[in-house]
């Protein structure tokens, strides 16, 4: 199965099972555009392509969040194991001191220092993973908003063309599609700002982790 096909299936699953309820109320059937020549349907095709890509990005972030959740659990276990190793080496150092095994004591102390550095690195890694998780959660929220917004843009493109071609159905009102696009766009822009802020925070935490790992 190709990468594109896999992401497509993921996107459909995400949209079917996760997130809040639909916010797109005004839709127009493609049948209204069936007699339109291909060249005038290009804005509609572009809008549909953007909507499809937004669904793929959302699916990617959903799976990235699941991966980070497991990575965070593993990092916490590793830090716990590191703490236990430090305790063992400290006890061994005290035992060697009582036995006047100075060389062994120095070796144990050196190992404790190494474990301290590893422990600090794991702590920074956990901070980074938590920040990355926050970013992905906000990114997913934005991703859902982007899916709705691009769908609203798609519906508006269809509605605009249908009006131009005079193939509108009974009770049609273009202003509803315009208002729908503005409303979803406002949410998409707000969530995008929140996502970018969380991403910058995660990048700062990542730099701190890499510095502590040197």
Res 78: pLDDT: 85
pLDDT digits (tens, 9 = 90+) for 118-160: 778 888 889 999 999 999 999 999 999 999 999 999 999 999 9
pLDDT digits (tens, 9 = 90+) for 171-184: 899 999 999 999 99
% the chain with pLDDT above 90:
47
Give the model's confidence band at 168: pLDDT under 50 very low, under 70 low, under 90 confident, else very high.
Answer: confident
Closest CA to 156 of 179, 134, 139: 179
pLDDT digits (tens, 9 = 90+) for 51-88: 999 999 999 999 999 999 999 999 888 888 877 776 76
CA dihedral defined by 132, 134, 137, 139, rounded to 10 degrees? -70
How many other CB atoms sit within 10 Å of the CB of residue 135? 25
Domain range summary for the chain, segments of one domain joined by +:
42-213
Among 26-35, 40-49, 73-82, 201-210, the minimum mean pLDDT is found in: 26-35
Residue with tokens 């594109």: 4
CA dihedral defined by 154, 158, 164, 166, rounded to 10 degrees? -160
In angstroms, the CA 161 to CA 32 distance is 9
Q: Who wins on pLDDT, 17 or 101?
A: 101
In angstroms, the CA 140 to CA 18 distance is 10
Contact present, 212 and 124 (Cβ < 8 Å):
yes
Res 38: pLDDT: 78
Residue with tokens 């193939």: 167
pTM: 0.71
Q: Helices 42-98 and 3-17 sit at what angle, rounded to 10 degrees?
A: 90
Q: How far is CA 201 from the centre of its chain?
A: 14
């Amino acid at each position: 199965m190709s990468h594109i096909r896999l992401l497509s299936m993921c996107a459909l699953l995400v949209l079917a099972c996760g997130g809040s309820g639909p916010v797109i109320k005004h839709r127009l059937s493609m049948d209204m555009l069936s007699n339109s020549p291909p060249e005038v349907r290009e804005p509609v095709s572009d809008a549909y392509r953007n909507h499809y890509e937004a669904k793929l990005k959302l699916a990617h972030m959903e799976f990235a969040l699941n991966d980070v959740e497991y990575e965070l659990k593993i990092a916490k276990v590793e830090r716990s194991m590191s703490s236990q190793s430090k305790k063992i080496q400290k006890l061994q150092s005290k035992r060697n001191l009582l036995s006047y095994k100075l060389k062994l004591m120095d070796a144990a102390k050196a190992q404790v220092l190494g474990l301290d550095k590893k422990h600090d690195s794991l702590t920074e890694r956990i901070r980074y993973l938590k920040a990355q998780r926050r970013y992905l959660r906000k990114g997913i929220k934005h991703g859902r908003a982007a899916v709705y917004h691009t769908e609203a843009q798609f519906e508006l493109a269809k509605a605009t063309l249908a009006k131009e071609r005079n193939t509108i159905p009974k009770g049609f009102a273009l202003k509803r599609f315009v208002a729908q696009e503005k409303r979803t766009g406002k949410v998409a822009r707000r969530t995008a700002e929140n996502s970018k802020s969380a991403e910058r925070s995660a990048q700062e935490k990542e730099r701190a982790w890499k510095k502590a790992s040197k």
